[in-house]
Amino acid sequence: MALQESTFADGDYQVWRKELAETCHGQVANLKRDLIAVKMRLRYVEKYQKEDAFAHISDLDKGELEREIAPLVFLDDPDEFAKRFDNFMYGLMLAHLEQMPSFKYAKKQLCDMAALLEKKVTIPQIKEKLPLIREIGTDAFWEAKDLLLFEKVRKELRDLIQFLDEGEKKHQIITKLTDPVTEQQEGVQMEAAYDFEDYRAKVNRYVNDHGDTLAIHKLTHNIPLSQGDYQELERILTSELGSREDYVREFGDTPFGLLIRKIAKLDHEAAMAAFSTFINDQSLNQKQIAFVHKVIQHIELNGYMENPAELTKPPFDKPISFLKLFDAKTRKELVDTINTVRENAVKVSM
């Protein structure tokens, strides 16, 4: 999406963008429609299985690709460390594009990895790439801040990461380019590095792969959980996939049901059923019905609406505001329905 900007209009950047688009399209095209996770997002899969869907990516497309498609695709490459290096380098590029503070942290990590590789020049594959490895440590390399140069590093060094010692791999390649420093302590032994497939990824994968389990089915179909459903979710999220500390670190105090609903979304038919009173209300005019459908689409894509106050903000405030469009009674009924849909992902029935 960033490479669509005029800054990157030059031919080399557009060749790269085409390569990225073809890779993404190929991953979507290879999705098997008989998988439950794919069936649940079939309308998005079908949309992005069309090659021209990547010709221009809008903000809406970006959101759909991140939420609906990204959890489904995978890279069929047996070299896990190469894939992790891909992930790291793409993170570095995004940190540069978005001017994130974590770019400095990523820069240090890449320099450290290059220094470790430089110590292993007796390995023929590393010796072959030595000029590029040494270039990473120069001021000129970082002053250029050239995305194409970063991409060259990703492509040419990804197969060399396997030659780092196990300890070096563990501490040098795993990274999460968010806030790099939240606390500083001296004299305390560091905890073991994050597992390769970090907790958040495990949760997303589990939810996408187990949409037919009772608890997740209930959450995606707007049905309150039973006590047993809740306990099973709690076990999965705080024992099987990781610890309670993992959950709190990644998701804070978000209720289990809301988290699952946000990942798995709300079934289209369930969303329509929740707002059927308004859809079938003959007294509502076309603009009011269109507004209700906009609310349904939002809740379907996000799983719920966190706060009905969002109805007074974009994109709901155009062309007519919520307050002007409905009378007080209808406004209250609509807000109550929105709250009920959210509450059904939180409350536990006895």
**What pLDDT shows up at residue 167?**
47
Rounded to the nearest 5°, which phi and psi values hold at 345?
A: -95, -5
Record the tokens describing residue 232, joined without a space: 């099973």
**What pLDDT shows up at residue 100?**
81
**What pLDDT shows up at residue 34?**
86
What 3-state DSSP class applies to 99? coil
**What pLDDT shows up at residue 209?**
85
Left if phi > 0, otherwise alpha if psi is -120 to 50, otherwise beta: which for 240? alpha
What 3-state DSSP class applies to 348? strand
**Cβ–Cβ < 8 Å for 216, 141:** no
> By C-alpha distance, which of 51, 55, 78 is closest to 162?
78
- Give the whole-angstrom CA distance, residue 296 versus residue 270: 10
- Give the whole-angstrom CA distance, residue 118 versus residue 140: 18
Is cis: bond before 319, omega within 30 of 0? Answer: yes
Record the tokens describing residue 100, joined without a space: 């994130």
Exposure b/e, 160-188, CB count within 10 A at least 16 = b: bbeebeeebbeebbbbebeebeeeeeeee
pTM of the model: 0.50
- Give the whole-angstrom CA distance, residue 166 versus residue 235: 32
What 3-state DSSP class applies to 349? strand
Record the tokens describing residue 209, joined without a space: 């792969």
**Cβ–Cβ < 8 Å for 268, 293:** no
Q: What percent of the chain is helix, strand and coil (3-state, nearest 5)?
A: 65, 0, 35
Digit-by-digit pLDDT tens for the chain (350 residues) are: 889 888 888 889 999 999 999 999 999 999 988 888 888 889 999 999 998 999 999 888 888 998 899 888 877 778 888 888 998 999 899 888 888 878 888 888 899 889 899 888 899 999 999 999 999 988 889 988 889 999 999 999 999 998 886 444 444 454 444 444 444 444 443 333 333 347 888 898 899 888 889 999 999 999 999 999 999 999 999 998 888 988 998 888 999 999 999 999 999 999 999 999 999 988 999 999 999 999 999 999 889 999 999 999 888 888 888 999 999 999 999 999 999 999 999 988 76
Domain coordinates in residue numbering, the chain: 2-69, 80-173, 199-264, 268-343
What is the Cα Rg of the chain in Å?
A: 24
